[in-house]
Structure formats: structure tokens, C-alpha cells
């Protein structure tokens, strides 16, 4: 399995373009929702890609070195999963020139940018589908979609659509990827934007194209165009992802199984189990159950794949993590602990925009609220913590490429070690609302006695003569300790 060399070193930030930042340099239509008003299913806030480019200093300060953009192509939906034209960036986002500017400015800072590829369905406004609507059975594009009977009803909810659509949503006619012209069109779109400067693709619901040959050819075209492009699939189930991660299709998937495990353990009694992210049940996990679940997740894939998995604490398709954790101060403290786990686990962390400042929200569309650029409204302590965790990850090779071994799992505490050569770190996570005393290993595994030093204070915490073999971990808190050999 060949993973692009840059991927394990990445810390991603997911941007929902309509809601992150708006620039006065992009001409906008007038009927936009107020930026700070609650988000709606159909309304537009007017965020754009120049706005993203103008905020790269903010992202660099946070430690971000990679961006994942939700769909940016011309569309009549604020989320832009209803693609009209795959070769045009939406004019409300600033058009193709805005993407050019964002890519150039990001690359100048050493940031990678991956795009969201919606290749299983288009929209009612997509040219080839519109051609069928205008010309009926005479359209030369008839085999681009699956027409079941005539006439077609793309807008009348009281009549059957009469064509195949994604999850029977008539707004989203499904491509017939058995048609060679359709396959070639999608392959050329993927190659075009990589040639333009994008660094990879996140593939939307790829299981809807149930054709391994399609995705193998997709990977070949992508790699031929940009050998180090990153390919990430949106597949929610761990076992279901296995066939996609054998080296001939994707590099990684969005690691929702890990997200569910983190939620179940780190949420403790604050976890709101009424939520069903992605339709999955949220269940509270003991430390022992969590450890078993982590072992299962890690065993699903080759180690190289584990280092490339996109590890997230939420996305545009889930309630905000802090909201799932009960919201308010409790939710922020749980998110802070989860942020430490995210930045120290194997895999590629991805921060959902606004999580770091305390943005909350329930299911869609509430989880897609606008980012506030009034810093007085930020949770400054949460942001400072996330920033510190990101910078720790980027400074320590063991956290990006090192081995992973469980050390302890009991009484609401989970501890693990990351090691790469002499860079060895012990991470202790306490999800309980009380301080706990944790006994550390005396032997470092190579026959030598060792001590443990706090990575931020530099204080020897345990192991040297005259110091205890234990450390204190605060309520809903974590510690990161580095090994010091005697």
C-alpha cells in the first residue's frame, strides 16, 4: 500500500465554503441570509473562497497544513452537492479565479488542498440531464442516466420521478456509470482539477458506484496525473471499508468508526445518546470496551492505512461534537479531551471548521452554522488547547508515524504509547469528572528503567529516584509524557 508521503504529516481543517468566511472582493447576489442568523436548509450566507484565502494566516496559526473543502462547483444548493457544472467553481464562491488564488496562497504556505468529488449523482440543472428534459428520448445523452419510464417529473412531488436518483431524491439524478462516456467524463473532471492544483479528492458516498473497476481506473488516472494525490472515501462502516483500502482504490476513508468509539468513551455520562450520527447508535463505553473497540478498528487495515485514515470529531453530516457531549462548558471540556486524543492517535486529524472556537449545533442544518470572526465570542481556552495539541503533533514524529500500543484501560482511563526510535510518548486520557491517579510502567520495554516527563512543563513526573511511579490526571483531562531513560 503506497500512501502519499505528505499525508501522515497533515493536519486537516474541513471548510464548508458557504459558512466559513466572506470576502468583500467577491460580488454577491443580494438575497443572502444574515451571517449570524441560524442556518437553514435552502438559505445562503455568502461565504467564498477568497474569504478562505484571506483567513489562511488564522489557519496557519492554529497549526493547520491541509484543507478539505466541501463541494465548490456550480450548484443551486448551499452545500453544493447538487452539481450543475463540474468545470466551473460556483460564482457565489468567486469562480475559478478564486480557487486559483486560494490554491496559490495555500501552497505558498505549504498547505495542501483536497476537493470534494460528487461523482455518483449530478443535479436537475446538470447540462446532460437538462438536455434529456428538453429532448426526451431523442437526446443523445439518454444513456448518461437511467430513465425508467416517460414522462419525467423532476419537480412535481405528486408524480413519480421516473428516473433513477440518489436515495430516490429527484433533485439528484444518478449517473449511469456503466456508460463509457460517463466514466470518461468523471475521470477527466478528476484529472482536470488535479492539474489545476488540487492535492486530492474526498469522494462522496462512493459505495453508490458499486463497481470496483470504475474506482481502480479512477485511482490510476488520479495517480497518473498527480502521483502524490490523496484519495479519501466517505464510507461509514469499518468492515465495509476494507475492500476499498487494499491499495487499488482509496488511500483512506473518513474514520467514522473511530469517531463513534471516541464519542462513546470520552463522552462519559455527558454523552447525549439521543443523537444518531449517520444513523448509528451512540453508546456509552467503559475503558475496557473502548480498548477492545480500538483494537478492532486498528486490526481492520494495514498499518500504512491506519496512518492515513482521516480522523474526525464530526463533519457537515453530524451534530457538533461539543453538542453531542451535552453542550456548554461540559461539551467544551469533552471536546478538548477528544482533541487531545485526535492529535495523538494514529491517522490524519481533521478539524471541522469552528469546533476549535466552540461552535455548536445539532443535526443538519444547525451543524453548518457560520463561523464567527468576532474573537470576543470565541471559547479562547478551547482554541488555545486545540492549537497546543496540533502543534505538539506537528513537532513529534512519534505522533505522526510512530507505533501504537495500549498501556492501560480501566476505571475510565485509557493510556497508550506512541514510539518512533527514541521519540516515545505516553498519552493518558481520563474521561471521569474527578482526578485520578495512574500508575506508569517502570520498564520501557527495552530492559531499561525509565522516567516520564511532562511534554509541556518539562517536569519529571515519575520514575526517577525520589519520585513516585504515579501521575495525577485531572477531571475530564489528559496528560502527555515523554520517556526519559535512566
Domain ranges of the chain: 7-120+177-395, 401-485
What is the model's pLDDT at position 442? 65
Q: What's CA 434's distance to the chain center, in Å?
A: 31
Largest CA distance in the chain: 87
- Tell me the C-alpha distance between 462 and 442, whole Å: 9
CATH among 1.10.443.10, 3.30.420.40, 2.60.40.10, 3.20.20.80 for 7-120+177-395 = 3.20.20.80
pLDDT tens digits, one per residue of 293-330: 999 999 999 999 999 999 999 999 999 999 999 999 99
Q: What's CA 391's distance to the chain center, in Å?
A: 18
Residue 326's Cβ-side half-sphere holds a number of Cα atoms within 13 Å equal to: 13
- The predicted model scores a pTM of 0.97
What is the model's pLDDT at position 33? 98
What is the model's pLDDT at position 3? 94
Residue 90's Cβ-side half-sphere holds a number of Cα atoms within 13 Å equal to: 26
Q: What are phi and psi of 198, to 5 degrees?
A: -65, 155
Given a cut of 60, whether residue 380 has pLDDT beyond it is yes
Per-residue b or e along 284-312, where b marks 16 or more CB atoms closer than 10 Å to that residue's CB: bbbbeebbebbeebbeebeebbbbbbbbb
Given a cut of 60, whether residue 137 has pLDDT beyond it is yes
Q: What is the CATH number of domain 401-485?
A: 2.60.40.1180
What is the model's pLDDT at position 234? 98
Given a cut of 60, whether residue 359 has pLDDT beyond it is yes
State what percent of residues in the chain have pLDDT above 70.
Answer: 97
- Tell me the C-alpha distance between 230 and 191, whole Å: 13
- Tell me the C-alpha distance between 65 and 318, whole Å: 24
Q: What are phi and psi of 349, to 5 degrees?
A: -70, 145
Given a cut of 60, whether residue 10 has pLDDT beyond it is yes
- Tell me the C-alpha distance between 98 and 51, whole Å: 9
pLDDT tens digits, one per residue of 420-475: 998 999 999 999 999 999 988 766 666 667 788 999 998 887 766 655 678 899 99
What is the model's pLDDT at position 452? 86
**Beta carbons of 237 and 278 less than 8 angstroms apart:** no
What is the model's pLDDT at position 440? 80
- Residue 86: pLDDT band (50, 70, 90) is very high
- Tell me the C-alpha distance between 337 and 476, whole Å: 7
Given a cut of 70, whether residue 106 has pLDDT beyond it is yes
Looking at the annotation, which residues are catalytic?
204, 234
C-alpha cell recorded at residue 307: 496512518
- Tell me the C-alpha distance between 207 and 214, whole Å: 11
Mean pLDDT of 251-274: 97
Residue 207's Cβ-side half-sphere holds a number of Cα atoms within 13 Å equal to: 10
Given a cut of 70, whether residue 146 has pLDDT beyond it is yes
Given a cut of 70, whether residue 418 has pLDDT beyond it is yes
What is the model's pLDDT at position 459? 84
Q: Is the peptide bond before 57 cis (omega within 30 degrees of 0)?
A: no
Nearest to 18 by CA among 30, 4, 2, 42: 42
Amino acid at each position: 500500500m503506497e500512501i502519499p508521503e505528505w499525508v501522515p504529516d497533515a493536519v486537516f481543517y474541513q471548510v464548508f465554503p458557504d459558512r466559513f468566511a466572506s470576502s468583500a472582493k467577491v460580488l454577491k447576489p443580494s438575497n443572502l441570509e444574515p451571517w449570524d442568523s441560524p442556518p437553514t436548509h435552502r438559505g445562503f450566507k455568502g461565504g467564498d473562497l477568497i474569504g478562505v484565502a484571506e483567513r489562511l494566516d488564522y489557519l496557519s496559526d492554529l497549526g493547520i497544513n491541509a484543507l478539505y473543502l466541501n463541494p465548490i462547483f456550480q450548484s443551486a444548493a448551499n452545500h453544493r452537492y447538487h452539481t450543475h457544472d463540474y468545470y466551473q467553481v460556483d460564482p457565489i464562491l468567486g469562480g475559478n479565479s478564486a480557487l486559483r488564488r486560494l490554491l496559490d496562497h495555500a501552497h505558498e504556505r505549504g498547505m495542501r488542498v483536497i476537493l470534494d468529488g460528487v461523482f455518483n449523482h449530478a443535479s436537475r440543472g446538470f447540462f446532460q440531464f437538462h438536455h434529456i428534459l428538453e429532448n426526451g428520448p431523442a437526446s443523445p445523452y439518454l444513456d448518461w442516466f437511467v430513465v425508467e419510464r416517460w414522462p419525467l417529473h423532476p419537480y412535481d412531488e405528486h408524480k413519480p420521478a421516473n428516473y433513477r436518483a440518489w436515495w430516490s431524491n429527484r433533485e439528484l439524478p444518478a449517473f449511469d456509470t456503466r456508460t463509457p462516456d460517463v466514466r470518461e467524463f468523471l475521470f477527466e473532471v478528476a484529472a482536470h482539477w488535479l492539474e489545476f492544483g488540487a492535492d486530492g479528492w474526498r469522494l462522496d458516498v462512493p459505495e453508490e458506484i458499486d463497481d470496483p473497476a470504475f474506482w481502480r481506473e479512477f485511482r490510476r488516472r488520479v495517480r497518473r496525473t498527480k502521483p502524490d494525490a490523496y484519495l479519501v472515501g466517505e464510507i461509514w462502516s469499518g468492515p465495509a471499508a476494507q475492500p476499498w483500502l487494499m491499495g487499488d482504490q482509496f488511500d483512506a476513508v473518513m474514520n467514522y468508526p473511530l469517531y463513534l468509539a471516541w464519542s462513546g468513551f470520552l463522552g462519559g455520562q455527558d454523552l447525549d445518546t439521543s443523537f444518531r450520527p449517520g444513523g448509528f447508535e451512540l453508546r456509552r463505553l467503559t475503558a475496557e470496551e473502548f480498548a477492545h473497540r480500538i483494537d478492532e478498528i486498528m486490526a481492520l487495515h494495514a498499518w500504512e492505512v491506519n496512518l492515513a485514515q482521516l480522523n474526525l470529531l464530526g463533519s457537515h453530516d453530524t451534530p457538533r461534537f461539543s453538542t453531542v457531549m451535552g453542550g456548554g462548558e461540559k461539551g467544551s471540556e469533552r471536546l478538548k479531551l477528544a482533541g487531545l486524543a485526535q492529535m495523538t492517535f494514529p491517522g490524519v486529524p481533521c478539524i471541522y471548521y469552528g469546533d476549535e472556537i466552540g461552535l455548536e449545533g445539532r443535526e443538519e442544518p444547525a451543524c453548518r452554522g457560520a463561523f464567527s470572526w468576532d474573537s470576543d465570542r470565541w471559547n479562547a481556552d478551547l482554541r488555545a488547547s486545540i492549537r497546543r495539541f496540533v502543534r505538539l503533533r506537528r513537532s513529534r514524529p512519534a505522533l505522526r508515524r510512530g507505533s501504537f500500543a495500549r498501556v492501560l484501560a480501566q476505571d475510565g482511563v485509557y493510556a497508550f504509547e506512541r514510539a518512533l526510535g527514541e521519540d516515545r510518548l505516553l498519552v493518558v486520557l481520563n474521561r471521569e469528572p474527578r482526578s485520578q491517579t495512574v500508575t506508569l510502567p517502570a520498564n520501557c520495554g527495552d530492559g531499561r528503567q525509565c522516567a516520564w516527563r511532562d511534554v509541556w512543563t518539562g517536569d519529571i513526573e515519575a520514575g526517577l529516584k525520589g519520585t513516585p511511579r504515579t501521575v495525577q490526571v485531572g477531571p475530564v483531562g489528559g496528560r502527555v509524557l515523554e520517556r526519559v531513560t535512566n
